[in-house]
Structure 1
Amino acid sequence: MPGRIQSIERAAAILRLMAGGARGLSLAEISRSLDLPKGTTLGILRTLQHVGFVEQDEATGQYQLGGGVLRLGTRYLDGNELRTRALNWADSLAARSGESVRIGTLHEERVLVVHHVFRPDDSRQTLEVGTLLPLHASALGKTLMAFDPLALAEESEFERPELPGYTERTITSRTALTAELESVRANGWAAELEELVEGEVAIAAPIRDRRGTAVGAIGLSGAVERLCDDRGLRMDQVSYVRDAARSISRELGAHPW
């Protein structure tokens, strides 16, 4: 039987050390804490940086956990499990709001719709499960960009001066999108006002797991004349969405907030 690989054990020890601290650690601190030579420690750190498991602060030179480790830790809940946990709440939201409901997760720089409940009327509708939505032009996407720590890092289009436009109302400016996401974080929900499809409005809120990490989003969508009134977006519909998001989050072990 093959023996243990020392370099992997040392890398794991470094990651555990970083995970246990609330701040970055210097090369000397890591080397001293694990009783490893600085040269050996530096070599492991550079390798972990290369694969995205460790990041180095350019200003201080200190090391901290990177997005690669975060991905491993937060993606234990896949779309199928999220859908299973959210089925009843999604149905309830559709009945309460009178609109169609979608649940989405982050997938390759887009929002993957993992569950879709039709609007509870007799109109002809198309099932949207498996549809990919743009992050910056959808309520589900804005929610993920605001609350999922991986979404912004994965949105390569976000680095461009101008983002793709879908209607005249699409936010295409990076500066404007940054301001929009700050507002989403402050409010706890996101809106999409004819930014992806003309005449359509959507509202979404984050679904969190037991660690408080956003693992998806739930939202409703419908015609602008139904979801808006003379004062703008109907806040009762916003409340319905947030209630559903909180309920699903509790199903996943999140603490009430």
Structure 2
Amino acid sequence: MPGRIQSVERAAAILRLLAGGVRGLSLTEIARTLELPKGTTLGILRTLQHVGFVEQDAETGQYRLGGGVLRLGTRYLDGNELRTRALNWADSLAGRSGESVRIGILHEGQVLVVHHVFRPDDSSQTLEVGSLLPLHASALGKALLAFDPLACPDEPEPGTELVGYTRNTLTSPEELQHELEAVRSHGWASEKEELIDGEVALAAPIRDRRGTAVGAIGLSGAIERLCDDEGLRREQISYVRDAARSISRELGAHPW
């Protein structure tokens, strides 16, 4: 049986290192972290640059992941009918609401973000495609828990609490089930500072031609923008539900 190819292993190690950083890394930092000779590291980086997997900042000389990796990593997402049909509606929702928009699907007991539209302003933002969110502490997750039959978690052991992310996270399974009943009743989900302090999110389920919830679309933003003295702004809820219904119709769901 052929042995492993060392250069491929080293290239993979460099990509993993760059993927785990919040900023670019210099040649020296990469070589030192991976305990590789600088010359070897530079040769691998130049090859990865050539194929589009790594980019180098012209001013700082630091390296970061390139667009080729993003296209490779989201190849299966591009073929996902939900994401393809939802692109225009997600853009429209971001424009109407003035907030960041995410589309999520159920993935191994979590929410996988398959599409993300930045808030339409000049603020610094981070692309969240591929990130995972907890079901019980996110609006997208609650929408899936309430309407996707495959999202129902196993019956917890008596006294078991869910993971808390802020002081507002619903950690009691009983309280969560009570909220999910309300979500089913009014057709949309929300979370107020349950995952991130100061952030509010709204979401509604996306259904296919069988009427089954196959995903959720929602928006998120600062509590000061999305809430008023009476609570969540009603127009934002309307925008989210309109977008979910439009995408559902694209997927063949009957109007409701």
Normalised by the length of structure 1, the TM-score is 0.68
Residue matched to 2:137: 137
Amino acid at match of 1:213: T
Indicate how the Cα distance of structure 1 residues 232 and 183 shifts in structure 2: closer, same or farther if over 3 A, else same: same
Are 2:78 and 2:84, in contact at CA under 8 Å, matched by a contact in 1? Answer: no
Are 1:79 and 1:105, in contact at CA under 8 Å, matched by a contact in 2? Answer: no
Residue matched to 1:41: none
Residue matched to 2:254: 255
Q: CA deviation at 1:181?
A: 0.3
Q: CA deviation at 1:80?
A: 2.3
Runs (4+) of structure 1 exceeding 6 A deviation are none
Question: Hey, what's the Cα distance between the residues in 1 that align with 2:203 and 2:169?
Answer: 17
Identity %: 79
Q: CA deviation at 1:159?
A: 1.5
Amino acid at match of 2:168: R
Residue matched to 1:188: 187
After superposition, where does 1:1-257 map in structure 2 within 5 Å? 80-152=80-152, 155-156=153-154, 159-160=156-157, 161-257=160-256
Q: CA deviation at 1:212?
A: 0.3
RMSD over aligned Cα atoms: 1.4
- Residues 138-182 of structure 1 show CA distances to partners (whole Å, capped at 9, x for unaligned) of 000000000000001xx34x6142000000000000110010000
Alignment gaps of 5+ in structure 1: 1-76
- Residues 78-118 of structure 1 show CA distances to partners (whole Å, capped at 9, x for unaligned) of 97221110000000000000000000000000000000000
Amino acid at match of 1:104: G
Are 2:89 and 2:246, in contact at CA under 8 Å, matched by a contact in 1? Answer: yes
Are 2:104 and 2:112, in contact at CA under 8 Å, matched by a contact in 1? Answer: yes
**Number of residue pairs aligned between Structure 1 and Structure 2:** 178
Are 1:79 and 1:114, in contact at CA under 8 Å, matched by a contact in 2? Answer: no
Question: Hey, what's the Cα distance between the residues in 1 that align with 2:94 and 2:105?
Answer: 19
Question: Hey, what's the Cα distance between the residues in 1 that align with 2:95 and 2:156?
Answer: 39
Are 2:206 and 2:214, in contact at CA under 8 Å, matched by a contact in 1? Answer: yes
Normalised by the length of structure 2, the TM-score is 0.68
